[in-house]
Structure formats: C-alpha cells, structure tokens
Structure 1
Amino acid sequence: MADASEEKTGVRLVKYLAQCGVASRRGAGDIVQAGRVIINDEVVINMAYQVQPTDQVFLDGKLLNAPATEGAEVILLNKPDGVVCSLSDPHNPRTVLDCLPPDVRRGLKPVGRLDKDTTGLLLLTSDGDLINKLTHPRYGVCKTYRATVTGKITEEELDVLQSGMMLEDGPTASAEAKLVQVDERSYATFTTLDLTIHEGRNRQVRRMFDALGHQVRYLERIQYGPLRLEKMKHGAWRKLTEQELEALRQDAANSTKGT
C-alpha cells in the first residue's frame, strides 16, 4: 500500500475529502486510515498526502468529483422582501445581487430561489458544482420555512403536511411541521409554524397551505441544511466560514430525499 507523499503543494487529503462532502475532517481521517482511498491506482493511508490537480481520487471504488477551487465564494444573504432571484427580469429590476457590493457579487449565482415576497436565508456562490449538489432533487437538502397563515392549523392538517399531500404537479414528499404560535385576534386567527421540506418545487410551501385552505401571510426561510439564519437584518450578508462550507457539502452528500 502507498503510504507516503513527497509533494510539497496541493490540498491535504483529509481536507480534500471534507471539501468533497464525504465526511468531516475527523471522519475523513478514519476513512483514509481504513485504506478506503485509492489515488492513481494506489491505496493511500497517509492523511497528510497532498492531493494534486491531476490526481484521480477514489473512495470505495467511486471516483470523487474535485471540490471547488480555492477562492470560490459562498455568501449567505438574508433576502429582503421585494427583490427577485432571477438575474435578468425586466419586470423586476432589483435582484438579490443588488444587495451585495459590486466587488462581492461578481460571478455569483443564487442557489435555487426564493419568491419575490419570501424573505430569509439564500445562498449565492460562484461554485457551479455546489449549486448542482444543493439543488438537484436526488440530494434532498432540507429547507426550513417559518410561515404565518390565516386560520388555525389543526392536528389533522399537521399530519397531512408531514405525511405528504397531493398538489397539481404530484404528491409531496414527507415533511416536518412544528407549531410555533396561534394568534387569536378579535377579527381573525393566524397560525405560525415551521415547515421543513426536502424538495424545491415552485412556490411549494405556499401551495401546500393553499391546498389546506390557509393563505400564507408571511414566509421566511430560516434554515438551509446545517445553516441557520440567526439574527441577521433583512439585506444583511456574510461569507460562509470554511467549517460551514464543509458542513454544507457533507450535508448535501448525506441527505436523502424524504419519502
């Protein structure tokens, strides 16, 4: 078995595996030491091996796609109301890129989209491979929305939201629904709840509540995979840390679509 690396440049093997989303760095070390990694036809058990751009890295016999090159930006934005995710919409001239300084937004694209009137956590990146992994249906990365709807959501309706329901474009996958608050006013009743879905259909959350006879009055995405919105003002943004990016990649690799 190959056990050494003389290269002075490249990406440390455990970091490379973490960036590919197969495990955390600690978990990647266990994978390497177990002899599950083959590089250029040789088993490598040296965690300090420096992976080169020309290397072919296999895990359990499967070729890994190279992670994004260093410097690929990933931005977390608290999308405000009234801006669109489409980067070329003549009817809505203000896009999410307008929330970012010109030197930051260059080359960025939204990861999926939020409706014009939906606020909350939106990722933007220049990493096309990451966009694919986070938005492709087979990965099923979870997304949590906080919704305030008209009327009182019953236990039976919570069960329907969670077990799946039929929409015009087919049945929804299973979801998680958690009641947050019921606000009974003199003129109307409103229910606030958190809904976690593993799909990304057009206006899906709104259509799910519409099908139950409840109109969405406010909708905000509060979590995307392992990332939470926390206390950020609308329009505020920040770059993901390296640890957050690794956790996001790992979540995409480990996620399975709700059934």
Structure 2
Amino acid sequence: MPSVRINKYLSLCGVTSRRGADALISQKRVVVNDKVVDEKGVIIDDERDVVKVDGAIVSPVQEKLYVLLYKPRRVMTTLHDPFRRKTVANFFKNLKHRVFPIGRLDYDTDGVLLLTNDGDLAYRLTHPRYQVPKIYEAQVRGRFVMSAAERISRGIKLEDGATGRAEVQILGYTHNNTHIRLTLTEGRKREVKQLCKAVGYPVFKLRRVEFAGLTVKGLQPGNWRHLSDTEVRQLKELVEL
C-alpha cells in the first residue's frame, strides 16, 4: 500500500471515518512508533510504521463490510460515548470486523444509517461533491406553507456560515402540526432542524427514510442487515468508485 495520510490510514483500517480520525488525533488517542500523533498531516508507511489507537495496533482490513442499520432514537451515532449512552456500536458486537458510521444522525433522530470499514466509500458518500441524496420525514410545529418550502429550496444560511437547502414536500397536517419530506444532497450538522427552525417551523420528530437510495424496509428499529453485492456496486457507481 502506498504511503497515505494518517486520517486515511485509520479509515482504511476500519477504525473510523477520516473526519472521525481527525477527532481521535485531537484527543491524542493515536500513536505512531510509540509517539503520540499531534498533527493531522502525518504520513504513514504501512511497511515501516506501527500505528496504535487506544493502545491497540491497527492495520488495513482486507475484507470489506457494508451494513444498513435502522438506527433507533436515543442512540449515539458514535462508537464510544464518554457519558455511557448507548451507541451504534452496541448493535455490532459480533461482527468479524469493526465498522464505523457513514455520516451521522442526531441522538433523537431515527432511520437509515450505513456503516462500513471501507474508508474510501465512506469518504465519498459524505463528500458534497457527489451530491448523495438523503431523504428525511419531519413532524414540525405549525401549519407549514409553500412559501416556507420555497425559502428552504432557495437556500438558508446555517450556523456554520454555509448555505443549506432542500426540496420540501408537504405530506399532511395533524391538528396544528405538519408532516413534511425533505430531500438534501449535503449533510451538514443538524441541517434539517436548522432549516425548519429558520422558517418558523421547529422540528419535534425526525426520521431519515432514505440514504443513497437505500431504505429500512423490512427492518425494525435496532435491526440491521448486510448490503447485497448489487447495493454495494450501486453505491460505488454513485460516487464514481
């Protein structure tokens, strides 16, 4: 394997995504040749360097795993939680290899979540360049109107300064609440909640019903399944792998 940056190396080892690797480095949990890594640009030579995470040696995985979880509410989309809340790792204790989440869902959001140890695929599926579609259904306070949907479609400035946008469909009304569907092609932190709040309709229930064309059909919250070879191939084609 050619020399690569430490964050990519950790993703190839199935430890975490590249973004997650940056967080591990910031937390000083990564050691190379018995020295704590404090720079994200460190280059790793697999034939020369010994890399450890939390004291355990890691190396690139040969067998790639791809799984789809129906993430329940009140579960963290991380592999570790300092407050000992339940994480998605709890559902995969018997897998042959460790897998990490592709992107994230909020603690109180349920729905489609993909996990893998394929760092290259995970990176591309979360990169804005590839415009991977994500569909959410939300329950919002108030009777949502089309002018609000048009504002969200045009784009709204988010907390991080970026512009978020989505296509919105009104599915129905219940008392003074509205059931809506939003389609996004980027996945910024809490984007759906921010967009709806900005137009005056706070979200009180959120579910991701589709990610890259995949759904939780046939699964109950907390259940998961392996992706088929066809599904994996379609994901790779979607992001030009």
TM-score if structure 2 supplies the norm length?
0.71
- What is the deviation of 1:105? 6.7
- Greater shift, 174-183 or 149-158, is seen at 174-183
TM superposition outliers: structure 1 runs of 4+ over 6 Å: none
- What is the deviation of 1:82? 0.8
Distance (whole Å) between structure 2 residues aligned to residue 73 and residue 171 of structure 1: 33
Distance (whole Å) between structure 1 residues aligned to residue 199 and residue 208 of structure 2: 20
- What is the deviation of 1:161? 1.5
1:147-186 pair list within 5 angstroms: 147-184=138-175
Q: Which residue of 1 aligns with 2:123?
A: 132
Judged with a 3 Å threshold, the aligned counterparts in structure 2 of structure 1 residues 138 and 105 are, in CA distance, closer, same or farther, namely farther
Q: Quick one: which of 185, 192, 200 aligns to 1:205?
A: 192
Distance (whole Å) between structure 2 residues aligned to residue 126 and residue 166 of structure 1: 33
1:220-231 pair list within 5 angstroms: 220-231=207-218
Deviations 1:142-192 (A, max 9, x none): 1111100110111100111212112232343542211111112xxxx1111
CA contact (8 A) 2:157 2:164 kept: no
Distance (whole Å) between structure 1 residues aligned to residue 156 and residue 234 of structure 2: 31
| Greater gyration radius | 1
Judged with a 3 Å threshold, the aligned counterparts in structure 2 of structure 1 residues 174 and 93 are, in CA distance, closer, same or farther, namely closer
The reply to whether residue 253 of structure 1 matches residue 221 of structure 2 is no
1:98-137 pair list within 5 angstroms: 98-100=90-92, 102-104=93-95, 106-137=97-128
CA contact (8 A) 2:68 2:226 kept: yes
SS in 2 for 1:193: strand
Distance (whole Å) between structure 1 residues aligned to residue 151 and residue 62 of structure 2: 44
Q: Which residue of 2 aligns with 1:27?
A: none
SS in 2 for 1:228: coil
Distance (whole Å) between structure 2 residues aligned to residue 159 and residue 103 of structure 1: 46
CA contact (8 A) 1:145 1:223 kept: yes
Q: Which residue of 2 aligns with 1:239?
A: 226
CA contact (8 A) 1:151 1:190 kept: yes
Distance (whole Å) between structure 2 residues aligned to residue 105 and residue 85 of structure 1: 20
Q: Which amino acid aligns with 2:223?
A: A
Q: Alignment length, in residue pairs?
A: 182
Q: Could you tell me which runs of 5 or more consecutive residues in structure 2 were left unpaired when the two chains were aligned.
A: 1-59
CA contact (8 A) 1:227 1:248 kept: no
TM-score if structure 1 supplies the norm length?
0.66
CA contact (8 A) 2:73 2:108 kept: yes
Q: Could you tell me which runs of 5 or more consecutive residues in structure 1 were left unpaired when the two chains were aligned.
A: 1-67, 255-259
Q: Which residue of 2 aligns with 1:78?
A: 70
Q: Which amino acid aligns with 2:193?
A: R
Report sequence identity in percent.
36
The reply to whether residue 91 of structure 1 matches residue 83 of structure 2 is yes
Distance (whole Å) between structure 2 residues aligned to residue 143 and residue 216 of structure 1: 17
CA contact (8 A) 1:164 1:173 kept: yes
- Greater shift, 211-220 or 119-128, is seen at 211-220
Q: Which amino acid aligns with 2:192?
A: V
